[in-house]
Amino acid sequence: MVPQENESDTRGMAASIITDSTPDCPKVLVHSEVKGQEGNYVVDINKVDPSDATQIEIFAFMEYQDSIGNGVGDTFGSYHTLKSMLNEGKHYRETTPEIDNADLLLSIKRNWLSLLTDKVNEYSDITEPSVALLTRRAKSLQKLMEDWVKKR
């Protein structure tokens, strides 16, 4: 867990596949810590909808996709790609501030697919190498999420 700038409090999440998880019914255990509040949550991946998911659900979904080889190949994982792309613009920071309460990680749902699609569209013409790489990865993530929503 990483302390926020100028704060001693930590925040972060870690995920692991739980023992009774199967390919047909994948389950992920997410451990979160936000400002000293810790929690453990089991997420049924088949129930995650990227167009209506909490932060913990989308984190578990991304971590699971990485674990089965469907991720985007980011060194820090697909969730990192998602957050990096969304944090590229002011709009995301204004409309989806970071959550400072562990309980809210499970109660605030967002349309992650729509947020990501908006960012991909906004940045797809930028040729600066690091932004272009991030946008390519985000497009792969967008396709993964779209395919998942269609499959449901």
Contact call for residues 52 and 111 (beta carbons, < 8 A): yes
Whole-number pLDDT of residue 143 = 95
Q: pLDDT tens digits for 71-103?
A: 988 889 999 889 888 877 554 445 555 555 556
Q: pLDDT tens digits for 38-73?
A: 889 999 999 999 999 999 999 999 999 999 999 988
Contact residues for 75 (Cβ-Cβ < 8 A; gap 6+): none
Distance CA 127, CA 13 (A): 32
Q: pLDDT tens digits for 99-148?
A: 555 566 778 898 999 999 998 998 888 888 888 888 899 999 999 999 99
Whole-number pLDDT of residue 39 = 86
Distance CA 82, CA 61 (A): 12
b/e sequence 125-140, b meaning 16+ C-beta within 10 Å = eeeeeeeeebbebbbb
- Predicted TM-score (pTM) above 0.85: no
41 to each of 20, 53, 121, 122, 138, how far by Cα in Å?
Answer: 14, 14, 33, 34, 26
Strands 2-3 and 27-34: unpaired
Distance CA 74, CA 65 (A): 12
Q: What is the mean pLDDT of residues 24-39?
A: 88
Whole-number pLDDT of residue 150 = 93
65 to each of 61, 69, 92, how far by Cα in Å?
Answer: 6, 6, 23
104 to each of 33, 54, 55, how far by Cα in Å?
Answer: 12, 8, 9
Residue 31: which of 4, 59, 8 has the closest Cα? Answer: 59
Whole-number pLDDT of residue 92 = 43
